[in-house]
Amino acid sequence: MNLTDDMATAHDHADHGPAKGLKRWLFTTNHKDIGTLYLLLSLTMFFVAGIMALVVRIELFEPGKVWVTPEFFNQMTTLHGLIMVFGVIMPAMAGFANWMIPMMVGAPDMALPRLNNWSFWLLPFAFLLLSLPLLRELVGMASHLIGLNLFAGAGAAPDYGWTFYAPLSTTYGPDSTDYMIFAIHMMGISSILAAINIVVTIFNMRAPGMTWMRLPMFVWGWLVTAFLLLAVMPVLAGCVTMMLMDRHFHTAFFEAAGGGDPILFQHIFWFFGHPEVYILILPGFGIISEVVQTFSRKRLFGYSFMVAATITIAFLGYIVWMHHMFTTGAPYAAQLFFMYATMLIAVPTGVKVFNWVTTIFKGELTFETPMLFALGFLVMFTIGGFSGVMLAIAPADYQYRGSYFVVAHFHYVLVSGSLFAIFAGVYFWLPKWTGHMYNETLGKWHFWLSAISMNLTFFPMHFVGLAGMPRRIPDYALQFTNFNQIATVGAVIFGLSQLLFLAIVIRSCQKHKAGVNEHLPDNVWDGGRSLEWTRLPTPVPYHTFETVPEIGPNDTH
């Protein structure tokens, strides 16, 4: 392609910007639009699943029935978990991938733009399908109040926890389980297509000179995540298909009475489920690496070791699934293998934390909201990592398993881990995307309220868990009352603080839409090292890198 051709295409594209109205969003193949769609879906589902968490927490405010039945309580915990994992964290990370990966590798768009459109648009329908039984139930309840009996006897929404263990979800599951099965199939297809797109983009669309060891850590994190997704989403699809067969086609994969094996379910589920937790956190690690080095005005310490650690974590992530099943009657030898492998994960994770801390050491720090969330991540994710090491010790795990200690652990790594990384990413890139600087004071309020209330909510769960409170119970013995009340108060504050986040994001989008230009510098945080800061204007135009950039040694991460 010669220069004239290139200019001509650029001119052509500039002429027709985004289409107007609904069509723009339905038919878009633009990576930035699709990224925005993912993030909007994630934001919406965040509040939906957040309200479910509040229903759970309010029911647990004191012993005895507070306001919902045990049946409805279980539906809330189940849908809260499923939606937060598949509908909030994963789409948010996919949103960042779509927005940032092409810009970070110097590509004009994702490699497979039409596929990209499809992988997003599967998701809203998947979550509609997942939520239908609950909506049906809520409409039924409401109609009952006004004397109608709509959907009478329609049965419950999924109510067996986000891990949907057989036979509770198969032989004993409500009819709505089939909705969940097909919803998971759709989410799985969406994730697999997105992962293919990301792998192909990173392998084939890197600008000349953008060598593997010059890729930003966020891109590395997502590349490894995409391979994890490709390997384990089909396993989950197989798992739910076997459930479907057991429920309707007289197979007995998981039914002991028919010669099947309920533990097989757990093996298959956790073969997906454990890599899944790294799918939720590795892109977050990437975001944190970008934010920490930017606000330290210093190159990321130990880049090549960070890359190696990410790959090692992913590899180990494949071979530890049975640590979720230590009390299922696993043989001694198997328990030993999975205990040792699980403990090993602490090594590369430790390397990452040490490298982040060393990046901050002797830097030139400023503390805008993205950095605050990254520092919050560093401290609290590490606490979640500590309880992770404790859980890895198999004999002690016999006591932690199924208790609130586990709930505390995974909320420390998912809320103050993945979610804080997402917040850090949004505050970090929002000015670049919209050309509008969010309100820093409000952002700081959002951070401090979230960080304090998050600890108020989840720290006491360590205590009640160790003292013997099982998870997933709607009612509890008297000695657990105090800590549960603290947790509920924390959860309400955490929920309300997220309205600040909503307000901040809406304000930025409004200003962007109104075309307010604040003339922010290209390198908004004066420490950004990747291409979106060094080679692109703020706000970033609808089409970027229509001419292929040349990457040199000065463009290092």
Partner 1 sequence: MFQWTQKWVFALLSCLGMQNALAESTVNMPYGVTRMSHDIYNLHMITFYICCGIGVVVFSVLFYSIYKYRRSRGAKAANFHEHPGVEIIWTLIPFLILVGLAIPATIVLKDIHNTNESDLIIKITGYQWKWKYEYLDQGISFFSNLATPQIQIDDPQKTKNEWFLLEVDNPMVIPVHKKVKILLTSNDVIHDWWLPAFGVKQDAIPGYINENWIQVDTPGIYRGQCGELCGAYHGFMPIVVQVVPEEEFEQWVAAHMLNKTAVSNGRKAT
State residue 470 phi and psi, 5-degree precision: -70, 155
Q: Exactly one of 32, 323, 432, 462 is catalytic; which is it?
A: 323
Query: Is there binding between residue 360 and partner 1 (CB under 8 A)?
Result: yes
* Residues 39-58 contacting partner 1, CB under 8 A: none
Catalytic pick among 119, 131, 191, 201? 191
> Which of 113, 302 has the CB closer to partner 1?
302
Name which position in 90, 103, 288, 378 contacts partner 1 (CB under 8 A).
Answer: 378
User: What is d(CA 185, CA 268) in angstroms, rounded to the nearest whole number?
Assistant: 15
Active-site pick, 80, 298, 432, 462: 80
Nearer to partner 1, 62 or 522 (CB): 62
* Binding residues among 448-467 for partner 1 as defined by CB under 8 A: 463-464, 466-467
Give least dist CB 166 to partner 1, A: 8
Coil, helix or strand at residue 329 = coil
What span, in angstroms and rounded, lies between the C-alpha atoms of 234 and 163? 16
Q: Is 403 in the site for partner 1 (CB under 8 A)?
A: yes
- Which residue from 351, 419, 422, 454 is in contact with partner 1, where contact means CB under 8 A? 351
Catalytic site includes residue 190:
yes
Indicate the residue among 125 and 463 with the shorter CB distance to partner 1.
463
Rank residues 196 and 437 by Cβ distance to partner 1 and give the closer one. Answer: 437
Least Å from the CB of residue 179 to partner 1: 19
DSSP secondary structure of 46-95: HHHHHHHHHHHHHHTTSSS--SS-HHHHHHHHHHHHHIIIIIIIHHHHHH
Nearer CB in complex with partner 1: 234/402: 402
Q: Does 298 bind partner 1 (CB under 8 A)?
A: yes
Please say if 323 is a catalytic residue. Answer: yes
Interface with partner 1 (CB under 8 A), residue total 95
125 counts as binding partner 1 under rule CB under 8 A: no
From the candidates 289, 359, 434, 488, give the one annotated as an active-site residue: 289
Of 324, 401, 411, 432, catalytic: 324
- Please state the closest distance from residue 222 (CB atom) to partner 1, in A: 22
Half-sphere exposure of 542 (CA within 13 A, CB side): 16
Out of 28, 119, 176, 190, the active site residue is 190
CB of residue 477 to partner 1, shortest distance in Å: 5
Q: Using omega within 30 degrees of 0 as the cis cutoff, is the peptide bond preceding 539 cis?
A: yes
Which residues touch 322 (CB under 8 Å, ≥6 apart)?
A: 267, 270, 330, 334, 335, 338
Asked if 155 touches partner 1 (CB under 8 A), the answer is no
CA within 13 Å, CB half, 213: 6
Residue 552 CB partners (closer than 8 Å, separation 6+): 209
CB atoms within 10 A of CB 150: 13
Site residues for partner 1, 299-338, by CB under 8 A, read 299-305, 327-329, 332, 335-336
**Region binding partner 1 by CB under 8 A among candidate stretches 109-117, 127-135, 365-373, 492-500:** 365-373
**E strand or H helix at 145:** helix 113-145
Least separation in angstroms between CB 496 and partner 1:
24
Q: Where in 184-243 is the site for partner 1 (CB under 8 A)? A: none
- Give the range of 118-126, 395-403, 430-438, 536-544 binding partner 1 by CB under 8 A: 395-403
In the complex, minimum distance from the CB of residue 375 to partner 1, in angstroms, rounded to a whole number = 7
Minimum distance from residue 339 beta carbon to partner 1 (Å): 6
Name the minimum Å distance from CB 270 to partner 1: 14
DSSP string of 260-293?
Answer: --HHHHHHHHHHHHHHHHHHHHHHHHHHHHHHHH
Piece in contact with partner 1 (CB under 8 A), picked from 141-149, 154-162, 271-279, 437-445: 154-162
Q: How far is the CB of 90 from partner 1 (least distance, A)?
A: 23
Residue 554 binds partner 1, judged by CB under 8 A: no
Q: Quick check: is 162 catalytic? A: yes
* Angle value at C-alpha 291, between 207 and 357, nearest 5 degrees: 120
**Contact string (CB under 8 A) for partner 1, positions 250-289, x = contact:** ------xx--xxxx--------------------------
Helix, strand or coil for residue 42? helix
Residue among 415, 273, 394, 283 at smallest CA distance from 343: 394
Residue (of 313, 368, 365) closest to 342 by Cα position: 313
Tell which residue, 497, 533, 381, 437, has the closest CA to residue 50.
497
| HEC-encoded secondary structure of 381-415 | HHHHHHHHHHHHCHHHHHHHCCEHHHHHHHHHHHH
Site residues for partner 1, 478-497, by CB under 8 A, read: 478-480, 483
200 or 473, CB closer to partner 1? 473
The identity of residue 374, as a single letter, is: A
Selected from 160, 218, 428, 433, the binder of partner 1 by CB under 8 A is 160
- Mark whether 276 is an active-site residue: yes
The Cα 47–Cα 83 span in angstroms is 10
By CB under 8 A, residue 425 contacts partner 1: no
Say if residues 266 and 320 touch (Cβ distance below 8 Å): no
Nearer to partner 1, 200 or 393 (CB): 393
Q: How far is 185 from 179, CA to CA, in rounded Å?
A: 10
Task: Indicate which single residue of 317, 417, 435, 474 sits in contact with partner 1 (rule: CB under 8 A).
Answer: 474
Query: Alpha helices, DSSP H only, in 435-529?
Result: 440-466, 481-513
What is the footprint of partner 1 within residues 62-81 (CB under 8 A)?
62-66, 69-71, 74
Q: How far apart are the C-alpha atoms of 523 and 538, rounded to whole Å?
A: 8
Q: Which is nearer to partner 1, 364 or 440 (CB)?
A: 364
Q: Is 298 a catalytic residue?
A: no
Query: Which residues, other chains included, contact 6 with Cβ-Cβ below 8 Å and sequence gap of 6+?
Result: 546, 547
- Active centre residues (catalytic): 80, 109, 162, 190-191, 274, 276, 278, 289, 323-324, 349, 352, 471
